[in-house]
Structure 1
């Protein structure tokens, strides 16, 4: 078990390094794009939206690359090399629209092929049903939040005190360390032989070229994103029509629940865009804690999301366990309902903060409280879209639906960036009135989703019962799957 423990620690280290780079860039992205590319704030927000959308789409191809060409371990090493190269490009001072777009394209390809393959490595390391698997994935999830929290605190601070290039140099160093660690991982299944390296370079070159084009020409990116959304709806329709009748009730329920989960990404995109802009424009620059005034950079407020998740996750896990022990597990529709109620409360609170900001800079504690509500709501919603796919999709459609969910999440993130630009003045920033209007609309949208979730619960239970009746029950020797719609 010692060897397996070392392997797990290396994998968790790689995830921490990747998340450090991504969340470090996210924490300063809009301001960095404005200052280095000459963009308006609206343009910078939409560039981040296009970047986020592409990051959701590329994992579909990244999984294929790891499964069919290189194997998970080699693909992870290539991904980390690309990420390290990208952050090195930022650290070198590549400026201008073309230079930054090229670096972002490299990061898109690196991050996109990293995501599915690092999970595959973890599955390979614990593929024999180890009884500590739940603990393993809990620690792994914590590594994601640790990397994100450190980055969101460190990079904005470093950018102000030592400069943009040096702060990205820190990210580059972390990713190069991750690349070195990836070379020490044990091999997984051997990759297919024959021309793999040559095809790899062609694919990576083509991927970077496409990503650069879409990032450098925002109008083209918008068209492609809507085309991708239409294509995914078509895939859903085809999957439903071709599915055996016994699977169709489950697919309809899966589509409805996925739609709710996908909408969350629209709200989540506000962290890097409107919420960070509001913190920059209307919050006091210090927060009083333990009798001391601490200087806070706007991007550092993003770390609150990860900190609250670390605090609340064990509490929710204990609640779920207690409910399971009592034979009354909390169903997915109920979790969605309370999750969106909490999201509504967070944006209501931030709307009140924007109203208070009309009189001058307001206390950062408004953001602390708002992120507490938001993060608890996120824990109730996040990843459940993938859970319902795994539960209700026919076996031959799981992979395609997982890929569709990822791309739809990217579309929702792009729409979130678009929403974040509403209310901005010609100068590219939003007044307190603009933020009041934006946060109020987001609260209203979240409340509508919460109401729809509540009204949908009886229908969801009927659809689930119909699906259970149609699908053959497991034999008495099989383990009964966890009920998510009791």
Structure 2
């Protein structure tokens, strides 16, 4: 057995992994490019290219949108498992998201806003659970390359997430800036157009190269698979062990809601705090606010390979690798530490947006994003791999949707918390998020041994 595992470790990854890497990279370029601009677009005055929302209303809408984006994978996962097949669902989702971003570009109005966001919500539901499940289907359950494959795939997510705010933020805040009668107009529309084009590029790659590099994987619903064992498994009742593993996925999903509620402040309260209270000048040049959204994916691209090699060394050691619940508990604690660093900045600046006397050093927000990134690396790719390993075949995409739905619940909760920064203040909200994350991480560490027994 050891010789087999060693041989697997030396094998190259299938080329289909890199096709899925590129497809997901362009989808994340589209999503994070739009997300980096959304709060700024909502709160900027109409005459300046925005929609003139109140900040609390904008952050609530942002939270609802980013929450709904991660709820619809439940329906998308179910439909693809039962009726569509994963490949068709990915195409439907990609086309819908490209159209959604194009609506935001074409219609500078509430109609354009809500129709565009609606298409993005629907499209993500079809796309997101199925692209991750396809990665797992490239490997057998015993293939030791699967964790490494999800790390590579996760880097694809974050390459797109790194590039998107730079490109879309630059288009929005610099290139299309004009002055008419002393009023500054921002080109948010062109940032949304770039996001739409990125989604189109990803779909062209996926559909033109899919048959060549993926073969028949994901073409049929699970119950109609040509593999007799897979087809039989799709109709068989769950075993006791499968029920226990499904329970573990759901339990850990409930815990990570608290992580994502804090992590997803990046696009709302952290963006507004950075815009108003952080000294963004570097060598005399002011960094665009949207560019700070690239810190997290940049850190992931840098540190994901390092952390992956650490997991490999731990697995080869006598003590063995850390368990999945242990990694996730540590990740939640790291997120909390990130907020404790940011609280030091808030103590200097206060929360009065109308009378900003002191601005915080840019390093505070950089260190906050760094700790959040480390926490994410301990939690998110591990979670994707966990669902791929533990989920029964008949529920694979549905349970991936459940995992993603935790981000949906978290974004709605996070939107409410972000809105409270306008009434309670940044110090109170950031302190609360940090404390809850640390406490929930500690609880997850305490119950990790029991969860490992259930995972078997």
* Interval of TM-score (by shorter of Structure 1 and Structure 2): 0.7 to 0.9
CA contact (8 A) 1:261 1:385 kept: no
Shift of 1:368: 1.0
The one of 250, 253, 259 equivalent to 2:254 is 259
**Closer/same/farther in 2, CA of residues 37 and 80 from structure 1, 3 Å limit:** same
Instruction: Provide TM-score, normalisation by structure 1.
Output: 0.74
Partner of 1:316: 307
CA contact (8 A) 2:76 2:125 kept: yes
Partner of 2:72: 58
Moved more, 369-378 or 337-346: 337-346
Q: Does 1:112 align with 2:125?
A: yes
CA contact (8 A) 2:259 2:335 kept: no
Partner of 1:17: 26
CA distance in 1, matches of 2:13, 2:338: 44
Cα offsets for 1:289-336 (capped at 9, x unmatched)? xxx444211221111111111222122212211211113221233323
**Aligned runs of 1:35-74 on 2, under 5 Å?**
35=44, 36-74=50-88
**Closer/same/farther in 2, CA of residues 9 and 397 from structure 1, 3 Å limit:** closer
The 3-state SS of whatever aligns with 2:208 is coil
Cα offsets for 1:119-150 (capped at 9, x unmatched)? 35545666798886665544332221111000
**Aligned runs of 1:278-289 on 2, under 5 Å?**
278-287=273-282
CA distance in 1, matches of 2:143, 2:295: 33
CA distance in 2, matches of 1:184, 1:312: 32
CA contact (8 A) 2:132 2:384 kept: no
Partner of 2:232: none
**Closer/same/farther in 2, CA of residues 66 and 243 from structure 1, 3 Å limit:** closer
Instruction: Provide TM-score, normalisation by structure 2.
Output: 0.78
CA distance in 1, matches of 2:273, 2:395: 42
CA distance in 2, matches of 1:133, 1:251: 19
CA contact (8 A) 2:34 2:191 kept: no
Moved more, 165-174 or 128-137: 128-137
Q: Does 1:337 align with 2:329?
A: yes
CA contact (8 A) 1:90 1:168 kept: yes
Q: Does 1:446 align with 2:437?
A: yes
CA contact (8 A) 2:148 2:308 kept: no
Shift of 1:369: 1.1
CA contact (8 A) 1:309 1:379 kept: yes
CA distance in 2, matches of 1:401, 1:68: 13
Partner of 1:103: 116
Moved more, 173-182 or 372-381: 173-182
The 3-state SS of whatever aligns with 1:95 is coil
Shift of 1:4: 6.0
CA distance in 2, matches of 1:186, 1:255: 32
Q: Does 1:172 align with 2:181?
A: no
**Closer/same/farther in 2, CA of residues 140 and 247 from structure 1, 3 Å limit:** closer
CA distance in 2, matches of 1:247, 1:81: 35
CA distance in 1, matches of 2:257, 2:434: 17
CA distance in 2, matches of 1:117, 1:379: 21
| Greater relative contact order, per chain length (Cα 8 Å cut-off, separation 6+) | 2
Q: Does 1:414 align with 2:409?
A: no
Moved more, 65-74 or 178-187: 65-74
Partner of 1:31: 40
The one of 183, 186, 194 equivalent to 2:210 is 186
Shift of 1:244: 6.5
Partner of 2:234: none
* RMSD of aligned residue pairs (Cα, Å): 3.2
CA contact (8 A) 1:83 1:111 kept: yes
The 3-state SS of whatever aligns with 2:35 is helix
CA contact (8 A) 1:91 1:165 kept: yes
**Aligned runs of 1:198-237 on 2, under 5 Å?**
none
**Closer/same/farther in 2, CA of residues 363 and 182 from structure 1, 3 Å limit:** same
Cα offsets for 1:404-459 (capped at 9, x unmatched)? 3332331121101111111305xxxxxxx8111211111221232233234x24xx
CA distance in 2, matches of 1:394, 1:12: 24
Runs (5+) with no aligned partner, structure 2: 1-10, 45-49, 177-186, 222-236, 351-356
CA contact (8 A) 1:273 1:420 kept: yes
Shift of 1:25: 1.0
**Aligned runs of 1:345-356 on 2, under 5 Å?**
345-356=337-348
Q: Does 1:79 align with 2:88?
A: no
The one of 364, 375, 387 equivalent to 1:377 is 375
Moved more, 67-76 or 299-308: 67-76
Q: Does 1:436 align with 2:427?
A: yes
CA distance in 1, matches of 2:14, 2:304: 25
